[in-house]
Amino acid sequence: MNIWSYIAKRILLMIPTLLGVIAITFAVIQFVPGGPVEQALMELKKGQVGAGEAGGGGASEYRGRQGIDAERVKEIQALYGFDKPPLERFAQMLKGFATFDLGNSFYHHKDVWDLVKSKLPVSISLGLWTFFLTYFISLPLGIAKAVREGSRFDVASSIAVLIGYSIPGFVLGVFLLVMFGGGSFVQWFPLRGLTSDNWEQLSWFGKVTDYLWHIALPVTASVAGSFAVMTMLTKNTFLEEIRKQYVLTARAKGLNENTVLYKHVFRNALIPLVTGFPAAFIGAFFAGSLLIETLFSLDGLGLLSYESVIRRDYPVVMGTLYLFTLIGLVVKLLGDLCYVWADPRVQFESLSR
């Protein structure tokens, strides 16, 4: 099986997987109470209560207006598309997804795709910095720990890494805000947002400085936990390779330590790290960003997804789920391709089983 046949087969397998995820979520939504229709009816009832009290009609007048007219209920159902059977709504939604028409938000009254694109800059900023700093710190540190296993450096760095891993990102974020964001000590960094209000009036250098000033605390809180896992994975992977027979043979031939480490060990040890590279890259944008975005008032995709679930904004829920699932399936395919690229001994037939 060549690479193109393998890719075509995997793409065909993505279709039922994607449909299954969307169908299960759509079915669950049908039984969740407090949907947009119920919320609209609740607002109408609140309005009637206010009108009855403001009109001074007394309790008897209000009790006569407690019920919602059946025609009004049908109008609200039609407004949100709930006047159609579930299967028809599901088919209509899939038809829109096929052309990347994700519908319109019930709450924001905007196209879901435009809404997602408006939130992307925040998530991309946070995700890119988290991803690159995680790898740039973890790989050299993990290699250094493997080479110096058992030394004071290894023990001290392991303690520091485990302490960072044991502290949740949002807890560290609160600590950073209290210490350096004007909480109880000093205000060296801003409390919210990615840029200042006067960002457009700043010079090019001023814009870069202002952006880095705002992103410092959120990125620090995001990186603290993720780089610990990658560091220990790098160390253990390199240790496993260093102890293999081919390393002893290379050393016996008189090769210097750097040649053995970076020419022979590095390529083999890189395999588990490279295969997780696409998933880590995408995960930095969408995973674990909710609490950080909320804590630092960053209006990104994590906060959008959370608010859409709370507000029962079903087009946003289903639209973002569709995009995230599709991205996840593509990333899984890229991970398998990276595995073959890193280790040519692996064949596509074994990956497809």
d(CA 184, CA 198): 26
Domain-embedded: residue 241:
yes
Q: In a structure prediction context, what are the per-residue pLDDT tens digits for the chain, which is 353 residues long?
A: 567 777 888 888 888 888 888 888 888 877 777 667 676 667 666 655 555 555 554 443 334 334 566 776 677 767 777 777 888 888 888 888 888 888 888 888 888 888 888 888 887 788 788 888 888 888 888 888 888 888 888 889 888 888 877 877 778 888 888 887 766 677 787 777 777 777 777 788 888 888 888 888 888 888 876 777 788 888 888 888 888 888 788 788 877 777 777 777 777 777 666 666 666 666 666 655 677 877 787 888 777 877 888 878 888 888 888 888 888 788 778 777 776 666 666 665 555 55
CA–CA distance, 246 with 238 (Å, rounded to integer): 13
What's the domain range around 322?
A: 112-351
Q: What are phi and psi of 141, to 5 degrees?
A: -65, -40
Domain count, the chain: 2
User: Considering the domain boundaries, does residue 9 fall inside one?
Assistant: no
Instruction: Let me know if residue 11 belongs to a domain.
Output: no
Instruction: Quote the DSSP letter at residue 262.
Output: I
DSSP string, 273-306: HHHTHHHHHHHHHHSS-HHHHHHTT--SHHHHHH
The answer to whether 101 touches 307, Cβ cutoff 8 Å, is no
- Statement to judge: residues 84 and 169 lie in one domain: no
Terminal Cα distance for the chain, rounded = 12
One domain, residues 38 and 117: no
> Cα separation of 112 and 115, whole Å?
5
Q: What pTM did the predictor assign?
A: 0.69
Residue 8 lies in a domain: no
Query: Does 3 reside within a domain?
Result: no
